[in-house]
Amino acid sequence: MSVMTTTSPADLVTVCRTIDDLKQKLQQLRWANAALTVGFVPTMGYLHEGHASLLRRSKRENDITVLSIFVNPLQFGPGEDLDRYPRDEQRDLLIAAEVGADLVFMPSVQEMYPVKPQTTVLVSGVTERLCGASRPGHFDGVGTVVSKLFNIVQPRRAYFGMKDAQQVAVITTMVNDLNMPIEIVPCPTVREADGLALSSRNKYLSPEERSQALILSATLRQAREWMRKPDLTVQELTSRIHASIASAPMAVIDYAEVLYYPSLEQPDGEQLLSGLEQPLIVALAVKFGATRLIDNMIMNPAKGEISSHV
């Protein structure tokens, strides 16, 4: 997407850096229109077209769109890339203004966590596999910060990309279990022209690593064809997926699993794909050098349906 050029990006969009400021501005808008609908797009910044697509959908479906930019330390474990997570405030604000975000919430860590939190949100079940298994505590941090943001913004709808399908499942479970009056809107993964899923971490890939990372989307496309075979079992599909990714010499598999979605429970490996009535997710997490990428595809083999863009 094109980016507007200006020496003062903060002048193009309303930025709130404190909770009180954001609440006051939203309260003023709600006083003026009690039926106002608020759409919310929570992000960790370093915005790209994937984030922009969420903002555009929120703009279509709501009166006001709030974007949050906050790199949440609670969801990073020891040795993870909190300090090197990409940040570019001016670029983020330019994109937010271009897409038309009405309010941008950009709090500091001190503003969000003035003291060490004594309360956390733990969602069980859907957090126990995939990234939850390889990144202990990650989804506790996600649930805690998202619940805080929901309480601050009080949106009607919140928009999340399906590239992180487990995150969508976790947040949807949290909202349903706690009866939060919020509609979670999953949105399709946005990809580069060559198929690589957009990610803020893509910038860390060397040219060779980026070239080999295309094995992720290529494997998902191949899995879409494999699933059409009526006599293929879950275990056979999983084995083919592993072999496909392993064909890229630089790929180091964290996980490559076939699970029910959104429960993320493991189906019987001997079951035929054609006999499974529940949707499945093919979920991938693979490292190329120091950069860990995730991707996925959701499908319903019994109905021949593919629910995500690959």
Give the catalytic positions in this structure.
Answer: 51
Amino acid at 46: Y
Identify whether the C-beta of residue 180 lies closer than 8 Å to the C-beta of residue 150. yes
Long-range contacts of 296-303 (CB under 8 A, 24+ apart): 296/162, 296/163, 296/165, 296/189, 296/220, 297/220, 297/223, 297/224, 298/162, 298/165, 298/261, 299/223, 299/224, 299/227, 301/227, 301/228, 301/273, 301/274, 301/276, 302/273, 302/274, 302/275, 302/276, 302/277
Q: What tokens appear for 209 in the block? A: 């690593």
Beta bridge partners of residue 15, listed in sequence order: 104
Nearest to 165 by CA among 269, 303, 284, 39: 284
10 Å Cβ neighbour count for 296?
24
Q: How far apart are CA 219 and CA 232, in angstroms?
A: 16
Nearest to 291 by CA among 189, 212, 194: 212
DSSP 8-class letter at 88: -
Query: Is the CA virtual torsion 167, 168, 173, 178 positive or negative?
Result: positive
